[in-house]
Amino acid sequence: MSTAIKRDVVDYYDTHPINERQIIDKLSLEKNTRDSLNVRDLYAHDQDHYGGTEATKILGDAAELSKDDLVLDICSGMGGPSRYLSTEYGCRVTGVDMTFSRCVAAKNLSNMVGLSQQAKFIQGNAQGLPFQENTFDCIVGQEAWCHVPSKEKLIAECQRTLKPGGRVAFTDIIRTDTISSFLLDRLKNEMTFHNLATATEYKTLLEKNGFTINRHDDLSQEWTRLLEERLRMYRSLSNSTAKSFGEARSEEWDIAYTNFVGHFGAGELGGVRFIATKL
Ligand SMILES: C[S@@+](CC[C@H](N)C(=O)[O-])C[C@H]1O[C@@H](n2cnc3c(N)ncnc32)[C@H](O)[C@@H]1O
């Protein structure tokens, strides 16, 4: 059976159930006002990865972030992890993302909580970062590099833009050896996952680019449970998704996400965390 869904990354994130408007509506209901928002009020809503701010804290701690660090968040989305890291570790964070609407949302949400100086956002592509070499102390990424077609270019860009001794700390969706090319093609069309790496491929790429791996965790089991919760969360948003982007997009999202979670549960996909240092 072939899939009728064919999205590109920008279109996928322009019509995503979690978005700036949905977050603001939810916060308005919770707080009954938009005036006195604190960055921590956003934490339950603005993290578009698995495990929320706890997962981002694991990366920040493992990378030993400090207030003097300049951090790059590659594929920063609406900026949830960037705001969290700059608030909790005192560091300055720059987020880069190719989807204009996500960059606008990231800036708006950061302005709203008074973080526009600590967390800045730039539109750009992970395969050719708009930064000079040896700029950053740390690079982070969460559940996003799966969308980047060339992992070779992505890791080479991490190597180029990090200072010597800089750390890369990321989590990502990976494929296992059991997944068929048919399913990978379907995930590309439905979820905009491009050329998913295996854990071994990420490890090899990091080492080839002169990184020492400090930590490598298999998150597959933990994420299987989190993804089931996430599917329920998206279903609870189906009316709001239909209202914003139409009934067809809401139904399409449900089909695509249900397939994705099914492949995850079947062991055809998995999750990894890598912490590595540039020599
Ligand atoms: C799942 S969101 C993750 C956002 C963020 N890491 C978080 O945890 O909240 C993935 C983001 O990756 C961005 N993205 C995908 N491919 C990209 C690329 N080649 N370069 C830059 N951003 C990209 C998308 O626009 C999207 O905002």
C-alpha 154 – ligand 1 centre gap (Å):
13
Q: Is the dihedral of CA 50, 129, 188, 255 positive or negative?
A: positive
Give the chain's domain count.
1
C-alpha 148 – ligand 1 centre gap (Å):
9
Q: Does the predicted TM-score (pTM) go above 0.75? A: yes
Residue 214 sits in a domain whose CATH number is: 3.40.50.150
- Please indicate, yes or no, if residue 253 is contained in any of the structural domains: no
What digits encode the pLDDT tens for the residues 106-145? 999 999 999 999 999 999 999 999 999 999 999 999 999 9
- Please indicate, yes or no, if residue 250 is contained in any of the structural domains: no
- Please indicate, yes or no, if residue 274 is contained in any of the structural domains: yes
At 33 the pLDDT is: 57
- Please indicate, yes or no, if residue 248 is contained in any of the structural domains: no
- Please indicate, yes or no, if residue 227 is contained in any of the structural domains: no
What digits encode the pLDDT tens for the residues 47-99? 999 999 999 999 999 999 999 999 999 999 999 999 999 999 999 999 999 99
- Please indicate, yes or no, if residue 264 is contained in any of the structural domains: no
Q: Which atom of ligand 1 is nearest to the CA of 46?
A: 9
Domain that holds residue 85: 10-176+197-220+269-278
Mutation pick for ligand 1 pocket among 72, 100, 147, 227 (CB with most ligand atoms within 8 Å): 147
What digits encode the pLDDT tens for the residues 5-55? 888 999 999 999 999 999 998 888 776 655 678 999 999 999 999 999 999
- Please indicate, yes or no, if residue 109 is contained in any of the structural domains: yes
- Please indicate, yes or no, if residue 24 is contained in any of the structural domains: yes
What digits encode the pLDDT tens for the residues 149-199? 999 999 999 999 999 999 999 999 999 999 999 999 999 999 999 999 999
